[in-house]
Amino acid sequence: MKVLRGLPERPAYPEGTVVAIGNFDGLHLGHQKILRVLVNTAREMGLLSLVLTFSPHPERVLARGRIGMIQTLDQRLAGIRAAGVGSVVVASFDRAFAGLTAAEFAGRVIVSSLKAEAVVVGENFRFGKSRQGDIEDLRRLGKKLGFAVHPVPSAIRKGQVISSSLIRRLLEGGEIAAANDFLGRPYAIAGRVVRGSGRGRDLGFPTANVRPFNEILPGGVHITLADILGRSHPSLTNVGHRPTFGGGRLHVEVHIFDLEATLYRRRIGLRFLRKIREEKTFSDREALISRVRKDIAAARVYFKKGGAALLEAAQNPDD
């Protein structure tokens, strides 16, 4: 998959494209539905499938406050690649880009830059300055400028329209199971192993301390898969402030079962399978050790019940 950073100033797709447009943060079930239509439509038309996405997220430019991203850009691109898309353009979203009218966006971006012969978007797609354009405007402009429009109905699960904002709320609220259901896979973060205090080893549970690249970090104790050293390993991850030891900044610590290796400075991925409990303050060291032993036992039972299929399917991490 070819990735371009920024809109091409010169024609980069002379043969024409089919373009899906969106932020695609999280690549949830709704996004996956759009990408399937994109790839199938491009195949039927004999054209290149292309995703136009944005960095930074438009809400970071236009709205007050900082929106937490579900994925890093690298994770997003990996997921788009896995969907079979041929090319991605990561457009730099700034005030000038935000000021394009709907007609300017269609003419300059969709037609001139991307040579789109068809556009695939969600049914609630909005575009142009102040979100002035909707699907009907896109259809009208497509008829004028020569591209077809394929709106994709929203994905609905358990009576709810799946959206990135819904999944952000679930993750920030610690509702991992519900978030995973709407994502269609376990929520995953990526990071790098850094030096820690060694307290986990002193307690009898050696941990890898992770500096996360992601922004949304679900608090609590979780059953996870740790993707490192080319394989996926059963693990237990704590995301919190270590209140038993005085609190402080947020830490991500993972105890990887039955793995003895030097992990310092290595990249690691963590996939959150199930939340066991909230982080809590323990009265003393022994109480903490007792609780962690129970957490590890619960995680081992979880993996045992999941069987070999769970781990076998996990040996191809995409983050």
Can you give the residue ranges of every domain in the chain? 2-160, 186-313
Amino acid, single-letter form, for residue 24: F
pLDDT per position in the chain (319 positions), as tens? 999 999 988 778 989 999 999 999 999 999 999 999 999 999 999 999 999 999 999 998 887 667 899 999 999 999 999 999 999 999 999 999 999 999 999 999 999 999 999 999 999 999 999 999 999 999 999 999 999 999 999 999 999 999 999 999 999 999 999 999 999 999 999 999 998 766 666 677 889 999 999 999 999 999 999 999 999 999 999 998 765 555 567 899 999 999 988 899 999 999 999 999 998 888 788 888 999 999 999 999 999 887 445 555 554 444 4
Question: Quick one: which of 4, 49, 57 has its CA closest to 26?
Answer: 57
Which pLDDT value is given to residue 241?
74
DSSP 127: B
CATH fold for the domain made of 186-313? Elongation Factor Tu (Ef-tu); domain 3 (2.40.30)
Amino acid, single-letter form, for residue 168: R
Phi, psi torsion values for 65, nearest 5 degrees: 90, 165
Q: Is residue 225 within 8 Å of residue 154, measured between CB atoms?
A: no
Which pLDDT value is given to residue 177?
94
**Partners of 304 in the beta sheet?**
none
Token pair, residue 179, equals 């978030």
Question: Quick one: which of 235, 264, 238 has its CA closest to 250?
Answer: 238
Nearest 5°: the CA angle 242, 247, 253 is: 30
Which pLDDT value is given to residue 4?
95
**Partners of 175 in the beta sheet?**
none
Q: Is residue 278 within 8 Å of residue 191, measured between CB atoms?
A: no
Question: End-to-end alpha-carbon separation of the chain, Å?
Answer: 16
Domain 2-160 - what CATH class? Answer: alpha beta
Which pLDDT value is given to residue 279?
87
Token pair, residue 91, equals 């457009």
Which pLDDT value is given to residue 318?
44
Token pair, residue 190, equals 């990526």
